[in-house]
């Protein structure tokens, strides 16, 4: 799998964890690992290309989730059936592709 794509998937998982931990902190729990999450996040971001990081941030702000899987050729963000010729089999997950409809970053889950 493409390194940038792998980083993006990890980044999104981290962000979901951060959000949950922050919510818990708001109701009075404190977490030491929130700091560790922030550090891990900073490491991932430092390896991401700038334009990809910007795209990720923009999509997350807009939709809440920037990276979505393709299942049965359907974008799981907007449920568009993707054109089969959009990408060749060999290129699956080897490059960062975005949905032509919603613009989310796509990966093949199988
Ligand atoms: Zn889409």
- With a threshold of 0.75, does the pTM exceed it? yes
Q: How far, in Å, CA of 17 to CA of 44, rounded?
A: 15
- Separation of 23 CA from ligand 1 center, angstroms? 28
Strand order in the sheet with 74-75: 74-75, 67-71, 105-108, 97-98
**Strand runs labelled E in 1-110:** 67-71, 74-75, 97-98, 105-108
- Separation of 20 CA from ligand 1 center, angstroms? 25
Instruction: Tell me the pLDDT tens digit for each residue of 84-93.
Output: 777 777 788 9
Residue 74 contacts residue 80 (beta carbons within 8 Å): yes
- Separation of 64 CA from ligand 1 center, angstroms? 13
- Separation of 110 CA from ligand 1 center, angstroms? 18
For the chain, the domain total comes to 1
Instruction: Tell me the pLDDT tens digit for each residue of 64-98.
Output: 999 999 998 999 999 999 987 777 777 889 999 99
12 φ, ψ (degrees, to nearest 5): -65, -40
Q: What is the CATH number of the domain that holds 64?
A: 1.10.287.1490
- Residue 29 pLDDT exceeds 80: no
Look up the domain containing 96 and give its range. Answer: 3-108
């Amino acid at each position: 799998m493409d390194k940038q794509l792998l980083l993006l998937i990890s980044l999104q998982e981290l962000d979901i964890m951060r959000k949950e931990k922050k919510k818990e902190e708001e109701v009075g729990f404190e977490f030491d690992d929130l700091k560790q999450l922030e550090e891990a996040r900073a490491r991932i971001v430092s390896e991401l290309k700038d334009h990809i990081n910007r795209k990720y941030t923009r999509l997350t702000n807009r939709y809440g989730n920037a990276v979505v899987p393709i299942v049965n050729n359907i974008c799981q963000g907007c449920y568009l059936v993707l054109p089969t010729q959009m990408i060749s089999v060999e290129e699956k997950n080897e490059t960062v592709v975005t949905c032509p409809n919603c613009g989310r970053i796509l990966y093949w889950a199988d």
